[in-house]
């Protein structure tokens, strides 16, 4: 099982900054191991981010997104303690869902 | 029952999440009984992730022209799209890309790296209430152009930036 998704969401100026880091190898399938065999492709294909029941971003990723995909985006609204949920599914059908809450601006 | 408990315990021994193990066993039964064809449907129902996607075929395209053809896109360059990519990157496996659109009604943002074997890198939906802005990191195979495509009101607008890669990201 991959490591938990790291989520940082901070309310700021009437909006919310959302940083998401999803630990994942994002193998392209073009890489070879030391024995010279291709390493199987294995990458996140779909991401969905929901804040307080509202889908705020969906992403379709390819193998060309870097290892441990990082997303940073902004939404309008969002209040401290609103729940935020991030879900991904990868090319092997594995999935991971993690949750956090929006923090107040510091 | 007592006969089946021993192998189950063994099955769980290697994992720290017994319920995940049991689910996997149940999935196995599902495959056997219902056939592999039904499984994606069941999985879809179990969790609301968007797996069917109109942009999916474009991800298998092998050239920029083919990506645009599969998206049915004939993009016009626009100064209202900011695309930030470093001029020179040492490591093609981790290239920061940031896109901001000031166009009204942006619905989708696409990132395309022309030098990649599969140029379409990522697609982001921008629902109402989400800023037309995204920042991420991508792999770039070799020096070439990176495109930001913004889909709004049935039109595609674009911004392009060339980047020089000293070590390719294809093997990463």
Q: What is the pLDDT of residues A8-63, one digit of tens each?
A: 999 999 999 999 999 999 999 999 999 999 999 999 999 999 999 999 999 999 99
In a domain, residue B172? The reply is no
* Residues B67 and B41 occupy one common structural domain: no
User: pTM surpassing 0.90?
Assistant: no
d(CA A88, CA A79): 24
Whether residue B94 has pLDDT greater than 50: yes
Residue B93 lies in a domain: yes
Q: Count of domains in chain A?
A: 1
Of A58, A64, A77, the CB nearest to B50: A58
Instruction: State mean pLDDT over B147-151.
Output: 97
**CA angle, B145 as apex, B141 and B151 as ends, to 5°?**
110
B35 and B60 co-located in one domain: no
Would residue A60 count as lying in a domain?
Answer: yes
Q: How far apart are CA B156 and CA B77, in angstroms?
A: 9
For the record, the structure tokens of B90 come out as 């040492």
Domain of residue A25 covers 6-29+37-101
pLDDT band, very low/low/confident/very high, at B4 (cuts 50, 70, 90) = very low
Give A-chain residues touching B129 at CB under 8 angstroms. 54, 56, 75-77
DSSP for chain A, written as a single string = -PPPPEEEEEEETTEEEEEEE-----B-S--B-TTSPBPPPB-EEEEEEEETTEEEEEEEE-TTBPSS-EEEEEEE---TT-EEEEEEEETTS-EEEEEEEPBPP-
What's the CATH code of the domain at A21?
Answer: 2.60.40.10
Residue-level pLDDT at B153: 87
The predicted-structure confidence for B40-88, as pLDDT tens digits, reads as follows 444 444 444 444 456 789 999 999 999 999 999 999 999 999 999 999 9
* A85 found inside a domain: yes
φ/ψ of residue B10, rounded to 5: -65, -40
Tens of pLDDT, residues B116-134: 999 999 999 999 999 999 9
How far, in Å, CA of B108 to CA of B50, rounded? 15
What is the pLDDT averaged over residues B90-112?
95
Chain B residues touching residue A73 (CB < 8 angstroms): 124, 130-131, 133-135
Q: Based on the domain organization, do B35 and B69 belong to the same domain?
A: no
Q: What is the dihedral of CA A89, A94, A100, A102, to 10 degrees?
A: -10
- Contact between A25 and A67 under an 8 Å Cβ cutoff? The reply is yes
Count: domains in chain B:
2
Say if residue B21 is in the same domain as residue B82: no
- As for the ipTM of the complex, it is 0.95
Residue A1 lies in a domain: no
Higher pLDDT, A1 or B143: B143
Instruction: Please give the residue range of the domain that contains residue B103.
Output: 56-167
Of B84, B78, B59, nearest to B137 (Cα)? B84
Beta-carbon separation of B133 and A74 below 8 A: yes
Q: Is A81 within the bounds of a domain?
A: yes
pLDDT at B169: 61
Identify the contact set of chain A against chain B, taking CB-CB distances under 8 A.
Answer: 1, 15, 28, 30-32, 45-46, 48, 54-67, 69-77, 87-89, 93, 95, 97
Mean pLDDT of B124-151: 96
């Amino acid at each position: 099982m991959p490591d938990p998704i790291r989520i940082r969401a901070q309310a700021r100026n009437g909006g919310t900054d959302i940083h998401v880091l999803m630990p994942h190898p994002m193998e392209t399938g073009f890489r070879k191991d030391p024995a010279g065999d291709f390493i199987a492709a294995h990458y996140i294909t779909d991401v969905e981010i929901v804040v307080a029941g509202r889908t705020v971003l969906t992403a379709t990723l390819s193998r060309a997104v870097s290892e441990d995909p990082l997303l940073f985006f902004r939404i309008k609204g969002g209040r401290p303690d609103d729940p935020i949920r991030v879900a991904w599914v990868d090319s092997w059908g594995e999935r991971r869902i993690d949750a956090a809450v929006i923090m107040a601006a510091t | 029952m007592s006969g089946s408990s021993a192998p189950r315990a063994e099955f769980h021994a290697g994992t720290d999440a017994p319920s995940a193990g049991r689910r996997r066993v149940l999935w196995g039964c599902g495959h056997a009984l219902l056939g592999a064809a039904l499984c994606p449907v069941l999985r879809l129902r179990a969790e609301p992730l968007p797996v069917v996607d109109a942009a999916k075929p474009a991800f298998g395209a092998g050239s920029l022209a083919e990506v645009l053809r599969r998206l049915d896109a004939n993009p016009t360059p626009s100064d209202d799209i900011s695309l930030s990519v470093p001029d020179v990157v040492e490591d093609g496996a981790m290239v920061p890309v940031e896109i901001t659109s000031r166009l009204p009604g942006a619905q989708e943002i696409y990132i395309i790296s022309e030098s990649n074997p599969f140029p379409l890198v990522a697609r982001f939906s921008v629902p109402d209430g989400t800023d037309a802005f995204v920042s991420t990191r991508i792999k770039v195979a070799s020096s070439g152009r990176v495109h930001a495509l913004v889909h709004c009101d049935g039109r595609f607008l674009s911004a392009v930036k060339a980047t020089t890669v000293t070590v390719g990201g294809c093997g990463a």
